[in-house]
Structure 1
């Protein structure tokens, strides 16, 4: 298949041309997350002819994903996102290379993965992972194309580009109390718009055209079609080397233990176990454990005296994100026997309908 025919409509743009198309073909881009943002970024980079695209995600497709992760079919529910994304893109544009990496990004694999690519795209909705991406980009000297959604508003920026500001320059505090899409809600159009804006920043960097959002953050609201662009400066005080990176992300102290829903099944009647729900009170479904207590994550530190440091505590939220943050908080307060229930209520309700009362 003739490449010049496939890409003709962009090659005729004087800012791109044949030279620009060759730059795209040589580029290597790594997308972290194959959810809503990733599903918007990926097709446009592939369509433009970016030569090699890696996709990192360890999750499988759920029915609730299809409302915003529009590259997946209903028949793909239960399959790995990265494998389905690779299959779709390989059929869509067989002239590019797609690497499906069915792993969870961590301190153990981030640096080695990032070293193989030119640009890193943050398509996640997990704040702790965003800091990890930022710090690994600093170590490997790669630009980070940031995207974030909260309900009807989105943000886009480019960090660590040409020694520019980083994510920590804009958000120095690691605040993990912000809700993700699963917990806060999201409409698919939001992730589509922000994902395409991220893809646009990637292509501008590869082609070296236009004005990259370096030291600038674009905030867009789909409810009123308003957008603002704010400048921010680099914080010279923050630096990180590889030793500090591994100490921060690979220390056993930072490890949050999890327990599976299947394992919980064996302990729901154990008197020595407390089930701690850190969701907000208006969240459904309600799960009524015999030994259960609800303390929303935002209130947990102020109400921590309600808990016994010596008790075995299993923490859960809607999807398993906030519960990990709660476990970290409890560990800092000398709680020793705490675990996060993997997958949260969304996973729990698949196993426990017969054993406990679940109100939809």
Structure 2
């Protein structure tokens, strides 16, 4: 899941007291529930009223991945009555390093189904509702309407802005988390009571400038550290106890084992959120029009295979540049590719390494980073440059299926 560099407006004091409880109490607990939740019931701040609120709560978790896994497990263990899961992905072997809600036997299975099985094993009293769809502007409001609280554990900016705007339109709070490598961030956004995600990030970063966890890596245990904080914030909001992270971003460095806090205020000049928009376009993930899409020079995996064969026979010359990171290159690479990481090209450091009088083909993992480097090189006057459509993932699928996928 991707991380960001924190920037915000002037600080102001966050709320010093808890907000009113988000959920009304359920009628009662069964004797079995009293036994199960006894350690909550003897905490004065939670007690029977708090546990009854948890039982009556409906929480939607976006993504049953690195952050969704611990959050779902701890919310289920805490006794949240209804948990919704939005996820259209399937379990892969590379998920098991951090997505602890899934196991080896779940590889190839829908993540939502796998997560439901784990929750039912942990606490059969929780009602699990599956939304096996990709969250989009066309379905977000309808899905969100059935829940009291949203937890966003996704790893892309387009979905984060969508979650923010849909929650704001419906007046619902949401808990946000973000992780990359050794760093994590957590906050609570609630437009009706404080800042929302757009107050923290008015504009999305340029495409490819911030790697996802799939591109940059993530320490597995970091998911538990941030995901459990997200679950903690959800419990506080539901029960109305403690001081929520509304107006505050908690920033964690797992290597230094330090937590620090950034205050965030609501921007009084920001335009109100009145409708959902085109979030792919807002984040620069789609070309502005069909002509722009056609103008992006690409090669397919099959075409690149032919080009490499011709180069090996001496019938053609071109440079194949891998713009990923060294760790990715060590896992899997295309024969004949030269590693020149994206950041060092965009900084200008490696520009002298690139020939201007020879064809260049760029590639990354899926195509986003190589497209960003291509655009940069075009701005620098390079005209004989293309990039691999679909990245090395598409190369593996079409050309070398025996190679590992990460």
State if a TM-score over 0.5 links the two structures.
yes
* Aligned positions of 1:1-360 closer than 5 A: 2-160=32-190, 162-175=192-205, 176=207, 177-243=209-275, 245-246=276-277, 255=286, 264=300, 266-268=302-304, 278-280=323-325, 283-284=328-329, 285-288=332-335, 296=342, 299=345, 317-319=364-366, 322=369, 341-342=389-390, 344-346=391-393, 348-353=395-400
User: How far apart in 1 are the matches of 2:148 and 2:186?
Assistant: 19
User: Structure 1 residues 320, 147: CA separation in 2 closer, same or farther (over 3 Å shift)?
Assistant: farther
User: How far apart in 1 are the matches of 2:73 and 2:262?
Assistant: 28
Structure 2 length-normalised TM: 0.71
User: Structure 1 residues 295, 8: CA separation in 2 closer, same or farther (over 3 Å shift)?
Assistant: closer
User: How far apart in 2 are the matches of 1:286 and 1:210?
Assistant: 50
User: Structure 1 residues 297, 103: CA separation in 2 closer, same or farther (over 3 Å shift)?
Assistant: farther
Structure 1 length-normalised TM: 0.79
Q: Secondary structure at the match of 1:142?
A: coil
Structure 1 unaligned spans of 5+? 258-262, 307-312, 331-337
Structure 2 unaligned spans of 5+? 1-29, 288-292, 294-298, 308-318, 355-359, 378-385
User: Structure 1 residues 352, 143: CA separation in 2 closer, same or farther (over 3 Å shift)?
Assistant: same
Q: Secondary structure at the match of 2:198?
A: helix
How many angstroms does 1:328 deviate by? Answer: 9.8
User: How far apart in 2 are the matches of 1:150 and 1:249?
Assistant: 21
- Cα-Cα RMSD: 3.8
The 8 Å contact of residues 56 and 80 in structure 2, kept in 1 or not, is answered as yes
The 8 Å contact of residues 327 and 340 in structure 1, kept in 2 or not, is answered as no
Q: Secondary structure at the match of 1:172?
A: coil
User: How far apart in 2 are the matches of 1:213 and 1:5?
Assistant: 31
Larger radius of gyration: 2
User: How far apart in 2 are the matches of 1:198 and 1:131?
Assistant: 18
User: Structure 1 residues 234, 174: CA separation in 2 closer, same or farther (over 3 Å shift)?
Assistant: same
The 8 Å contact of residues 182 and 319 in structure 1, kept in 2 or not, is answered as no
Q: Secondary structure at the match of 1:55?
A: strand
How many angstroms does 1:287 deviate by? Answer: 2.2
The 8 Å contact of residues 61 and 78 in structure 1, kept in 2 or not, is answered as yes
Number of matched pairs:
340
Structure of greater relative contact order (alpha carbons < 8 Å, 6+ residues apart): 2
